[in-house]
Chain A
Amino acid sequence: MKSNKFWQIWDRAGIFVALLALVIILAIINPDFRKLPNLSNILQQCTPIGIAAIGMTFVIISGTLDLSVGSVMALTACVMVSLINVVGFYSAFLIAVTLGFCLGLINGLIVTQMGVQPFIATLGTMWVYRALAYIYTQNKPMQSADASFVTWGEHICYVPSLFVIMVLCYLAGYFLLYHTPFGRYVFAIGSNRRAAILSGVNVARVNLLVFALVGFFGAMAGAALAVRLWSAKADAALGYELMVIATVVLGGTSLKGGSGTFAGTFGAAILFTVVYNAMDMFQVQSYWQKIALGGILLLALSLDGLRRKRTIG
């Protein structure tokens, strides 16, 4: 029981301990890293993936996956930026988010109504949405004459407004997951689908909503990306889906479903950014950066795996 307790704490806090250690070490050995502007950069740089990871956490807890999130980010971002001139930022943003929600719904419908495995369904839509983004933009970079929206990318005394928004999103997600019946159903489905059905959970509807959430937060992330880049392009966020999934898993959410935490995802999102940032600071050759990222993932999960192996006995 005692060792269990320890591992429980480790499951929840391990990522933060690692993050804390990393930050402190880096801050001590690298003067550039510990500059305030740099740290606020880190907080800003982690927003797109961080926000996208919220939806992904939901979907992974419910025992499935969504590979289309990168494409959703690109498509919604392009639509948003292209519309800013026409309808202004706020309405454009609303439209983009609604679009994202709908794209998510489409994924959900394919999964629940057509009975397609989520991995394949979203793999398909990943290609389709990407294609739509290309077709919509005709590969021209989307820029808006009215550049007022970029003010969202600025800091308030070193705290990036995007990061604040991200934190708010996380609080919302946390509330949704732990304080509403819906959140409880998400866990139920991930843990035992048949039992969920027998308990009168409307599995199809919950699944649908989960995918819609991924789309929604995907759109938010897309918007964040556009705000950071002052522009959007059809090939933006290429391959982000895997990064996002990696983040969620590194945060301690099991791909088997039924268990997971938001705090973990949050920590993992920051951790990845810190690592990237540090590697730039130390002028690590970009080829080695790939290896480093893969290594971290392996390390983290093999620790986990070995532990599980031991407790199984």
Chain B
Amino acid sequence: MLLMFRLIAVILPGTMDPEILKLEHISKFFPGVKALDAVSFDVTRGEVHALVGENGAGKSTLIKILGGVFSQDSGTVLFDSADIRFKNTHHSQQSGISVIYQEFNLLPHLSVAENVFIGREPKKLLFLNWRKIVQDTKRILEQLDVSLDPKILVEELSVAEKQMVEIAKALSFKAKLIIMDEPTAALSENEVQKLFAIIRTLKAQGTAVLFVSHRLKEVFAIADRITVLRDGRFVVTRSVNETDEKEIIRLMVGRDIDTLFSKDSTYSKSTVLSVRKVNIQNILKDVSFELRKGEILGVAGLMGSGKTQLAEALYGLLALDGGDIFIEGKRVNITSPKEAILLGIGFVSEDRKSDSIFPELSVLHNMTMTILKRLTRWRGIVLNFFQERKSLQDYTARLDIRYQNPHQKIAFLSGGNQQKVLLARALAADCRLLVLCEPTRGVDVGAKAEIHALINELAKKGVAMILISSELPEIIGMSDSCIVMHHGRMAGYLNKTEMTETNIIGCATGQMTIGLER
């Protein structure tokens, strides 16, 4: 069958076979690891093809091969019915593939426009054609209906805005195949909707999209077919209407997983944290809420709604311009993370790569960084390696972190395990209040479930938590009550019953306000 198609393609160039991309027995080895093992599947023109699998299943490696970062050790890539071996990123772009990588590939010191057209700048004679660059960028951004000035420097953008620039960049290629690796990770609900609209138009224009995501809801919302990888091997390709989430999850994990997002609300009456009319100029306005022992407070909101800054303020990173914070009834003034930690506040940041892990350091050293002072002899002078090991082992057991040995560099761990180590780091400083920013971003389904279970267990142990997430199901499922931010103000303070997607989105977009009298 395939052979025939190829023959036709050779004989009469006019006709072309339905597959834009055809992978045959792709394998890739790294020192000690078999990242990809004879993976073959295909993507047809104008289809949205989802690629799912746990972290370490080989998705990223596959993408990097298609993007021309690596080249496969064996197997063939048929792209647009030609057998291509991508020499470098430039080559793959030329051939008509554009990739949106999970970790951003933007140039902070350059403007949005330059970032979109870097490497392919339109020229007048030898010189840049600035006007054209800016106009084209504007056009694309309008398509995405994002209001961004093309001349603004990328370093001044928020995570979500950066994501949008990445997407704009990918669109600007007029590529035959667009690969999106976790494109929605940083986006809030309605931005995701925008993205989907664009993907549909692309699809209509006959562009194929390879959509990689951990969020199965979105996968089922947008994809035509789903390919599952596990441990570098191809498992199956299904069309969405032949399958359902449970099955896909089973295929990904290789085992059944009890339903996600469930929190049995058991929290006591004693208040841990109460925030009264907190203000930060042009960022937060009159935010106030209560948090009780073992309660989980969800925080929802669009990008730039101030939800992240709220967390950073609680952790002493941003100074308050007004309002009070009480911890267990005592008024506190938190001016640095150090003080926050001493007050028993733990923090898991939203950007693991740039804000959390120490890539050169070992798992052990990463985990104990916050509590070194306590792991010492002789009045905090000499480190007590024995205690250090012990505390690590405790948390390894409690959080079921998987690593080869305590001195393995954390960079070699999977996203899920890294996140667990970071949770352990936060918990180790025996904290009563845990601030979680996007705790499951870029984490595979299996680890995600584990982390949720963990959060549950912590809540039972009486740890109060603030859960900031752009994944509504997560918020609705996990939290006992939830506040919704809109332009730095609280637009909603919902209890368990009021928490529905419509309510939250309504508040987030500023169309309604709920429960502010509380």
Contact = CB atoms under 8 A, between A and B. Distances in A.
B383 A1 contact: no
Interface in A190-228: 190-192, 194-202
A187 B358 contact: yes
A179 B383 contact: yes
A259 interface: yes
B360 A259 contact: yes
B248 to A, nearest CB: 31
B370 interface: yes
Interface string B370-406: 1011001000111100000000000000000000000
Contact of B357 (A4, A179, A181, A192): A192
Contacts, number: 82
Nearest to B28: A313
A198 B361 contact: no
Contacts of A194: 354-355
A309 interface: no
B382 A199 contact: no
B33 to A, nearest CB: 9
Interface string B346-369: 010100001111111100010001
Given A198-B337, A199-B425, A200-B337, A181 B355 contact: no
Given A180-B381, A200-B341, A311 B357 contact: no
Given A1-B32, A198-B337, A200-B336, A181 B373 contact: yes
A198 B429 CA distance: 13
A188 B357 CA distance: 9
A191 B372 contact: no
Contacts of A34: none
A184 interface: yes
B30 interface: yes
Interface string A59-76: 000000000000000000
A304 B290 CA distance: 56
**A contact patch SS:** helix
Nearest to B385: A179
Interface string A164-187: 000000000000000111001101
A190 B360 CA distance: 9
Given A195-B356, A200-B341, A258-B360, A181 B425 contact: no
A313 B30 contact: yes
Contacts of B119: none
Interface string B31-52: 1100000000000000000000
A308 interface: no
A148 B300 CA distance: 75
A290 interface: no
Contact of B355 (A190, A198, A201): A198
Contact of A191 (B32, B341, B359): B359
B337 A199 contact: yes
A194 B350 CA distance: 13
B70 A201 contact: no
B66 interface: no
A67 B337 CA distance: 32
Contacts of B380: 181
A213 to B, nearest CB: 16
Interface in B48-73: 70
Nearest to A178: B383
B338 interface: yes
Nearest to A184: B372
A281 B315 CA distance: 63
Contact of B347 (A179, A196, A198): A198
B340 interface: yes
Contacts of B429: 200
A202 B335 CA distance: 12
A313 B359 contact: no
Contacts of A258: 358-361
Contacts of A190: 360
A185 B368 CA distance: 11
A191 B31 contact: no
Given A179-B383, A181-B372, A181-B383, A192 B31 contact: no
B323 to A, nearest CB: 23
Contacts of A259: 360
A63 to B, nearest CB: 10
Contacts of B354: 192, 194
A200 B383 CA distance: 17
Contacts of B372: 181, 184-185
A179 B382 contact: yes
Contacts of B317: 197-198
Nearest to A175: B382
A1 B409 CA distance: 12
Given A192-B357, A195-B355, A184 B383 contact: yes
Nearest to B358: A191
A311 B315 CA distance: 39
Nearest to B365: A184
Interface string B199-210: 000000000000
Interface string A289-313: 0000000000000000000000101
Contacts of B355: 192, 194-195, 198
Contacts of A187: 358, 360-361, 365
A305 to B, nearest CB: 17
Contacts of A313: 30, 70
Contacts of B31: 1-4, 311
A194 B30 CA distance: 30
A31 to B, nearest CB: 46
Nearest to A2: B32
A192 B358 contact: yes
A188 B358 contact: yes
Interface string A1-34: 1111000000000000000000000000000000
B382 A180 contact: yes
B384 to A, nearest CB: 10
A193 to B, nearest CB: 10
B407 to A, nearest CB: 10
A4 B383 CA distance: 28
A175 B429 CA distance: 25
B377 to A, nearest CB: 10
Nearest to A310: B31
A311 B361 CA distance: 19
Interface string A110-142: 000000000000000000000000000000000
Given A198-B337, A200-B336, A258-B358, 8 more contacts: A181-B373, A181-B376, A192-B358, A194-B355, A195-B357, A198-B315, A259-B360, A313-B70
Q: What 9 A-B pairs are tightest by C-beta distance, nearest first? A: A258-B360, A181-B372, A1-B32, A191-B358, A200-B338, A200-B341, A199-B369, A191-B360, A200-B337
8 contacts: A187-B358, A191-B361, A192-B357, A192-B358, A198-B347, A198-B355, A200-B338, A258-B360
Interface of B: 30-32, 70, 315, 317, 336-338, 340-341, 347, 349, 354-361, 365, 369-370, 372-373, 376, 380-383, 425, 429
